Amino acid sequence: MRKFLTLTSAAGALLAASAAFADVELTFRFNDGEREEMRAALDAFEADNPGITVELQTIAWGDSREQFLREGAVGQGPDVVHIAFVWTQEMAEAGIVMPIDEMTQYGEFANGFDDFIATDLTMYDGRAWGVPWSADTWAMVYRTDVLAEAGIEAMPETWDELLAASRTVAAETGKTGFAFPAADQVWFPFNYYLWSNGLTLVEEDGAGGYQPGVSVEELAAALDYFGTYINEELVPRSVLAIEVPHDPALLQALLDGSQAMAVMPTNTYRQLLSAFEEANPGAEVPFASGTMMGGSEGPQTHLGGRTLVVNSNTDHPTEAWQLLQYLTEAGLFETYYTNQFPAQRTLLSQIEYRSEELGFADQLANHTRTWGAYAESGAGVGQLWNLTARSVGSALSGQVTSTEAAEQLLAEIERVLDN
């Protein structure tokens, strides 16, 4: 369990005010898998705030954005909503969330709003509309005993070295070297590959607009890189149907030692470590983490995370803000939401990382970037994500050539930028 040096004081200040509330029923919508832990956290909130009860709604990430947009448009939806960093501007433009400068009349954060990271992603029309909740990124995960079995002493640092190491693992052990989710969330490693080679799907055009930051040939080369793992049978072809890095097939291969390397977000890695330690009490943990692969440029991953917003249709803005403040306090991350890093500079500086997590700490602190032009261009991260995953999938499965898939993706990017 992580410990922080101090706790924020918001809960204490608000406890005194809780007596003023009576029989208020709030709804909190939560998208992650820690339902039991979050329910326990809400039970503690209710115990400290008599008269306020909180219904916990859970929903899959894939459905969350559209569901809240539909509800908000007709004056409905939960009081407090858990969304992705990059959805905030869209929610603000739709008018379904409340601006932070109006909510702080009900209470300030202990370290101020500026202590939160990535607040630029919550800005729309000069105002902040969400509170960054947790911060994460992706990094490399290694099964050190499998690499040793293959005779690999140094961790790969570039995409080419990763491919070479995968070939060595296959040749020397018959096991899988590097595997990745090749369906929906191939979006992440595909962008990391581009960024580390100085490329990007969307960039500023220098004249106040936006343009593709990659050519057909460069996109095709990126597709060919990931296709090599499938064409050379370095990974099972079944990865084409795997959408997320926490898919049981990927995690089990790491747990049973039949796979050496993977790429995943922070919370998935923590789930992996917990699962290994539960299944092997007292055993040495054979995992290490490292920064993402580099290309012509250094390793780059996205600064991701979760945001909390208050529904503009809530009948209880005071209590909703009280709940939101409770959810951002250190105690929540110490006791209940332990797979996530808080999106606050003060709390991040107090985390005591495990040695196995140091690669994630380095990646998060030194090698991340925001989606930038992807969101600012108006194309939208969600739309670019869907288009990219579809094109990558069609190329990796052999439905079209890498050049055809690259031409299709570039044409779609130009289309959405023109709209």
Average pLDDT for residues 186-197, to the nearest whole number? 97
Report pLDDT for 22: 56
Report pLDDT for 340: 86
Question: Token pair of 284, please?
Answer: 């040495």
Report pLDDT for 371: 84
d(CA 306, CA 271): 18
Report pLDDT for 361: 87
Helix (H) or strand (E) holding 134: strand 131-136
Tell me: the pLDDT tens digits for 42-59? 999 999 999 999 999 999
* CA distances to 155, 183, 333, 403 from 410, in Å: 34, 19, 41, 10
Average pLDDT for residues 130-145, to the nearest whole number? 95
Report pLDDT for 85: 84
Tell me: the pLDDT tens digits for 156-169? 999 999 999 999 99
Q: At what angle do helices 216-231 and 159-173 cross, to 10 degrees?
A: 10
Question: Percent of the chain at pLDDT above 70?
Answer: 95
Report phi then psi at 416, rounded to 5.
-70, -30
Cβ atoms 260, 169 nearer than 8 A: yes
Residue with tokens 């990219």: 388
Tell me: the pLDDT tens digits for 62-104? 789 999 999 999 999 999 999 988 889 889 999 999 999 999 8
Average pLDDT for residues 328-345, to the nearest whole number? 91
Within 8 A by CB and 6+ apart from 292, the residues are: 138, 139, 140, 192, 196, 263, 299, 300, 301, 363, 367
Confidence band for 267, pLDDT divided at 50, 70 and 90: confident
Confidence band for 8, pLDDT divided at 50, 70 and 90: very low
Average pLDDT for residues 240-248, to the nearest whole number? 92
pLDDT exceeds cutoff 50 at 11: no
Tell me: the pLDDT tens digits for 401-417? 999 999 999 999 999 99
DSSP β-bridge partners for residue 139: 264
Helix (H) or strand (E) holding 131: strand 131-136
In the chain, DSSP finds a helix count (H) and a strand count (E) of 18, 16
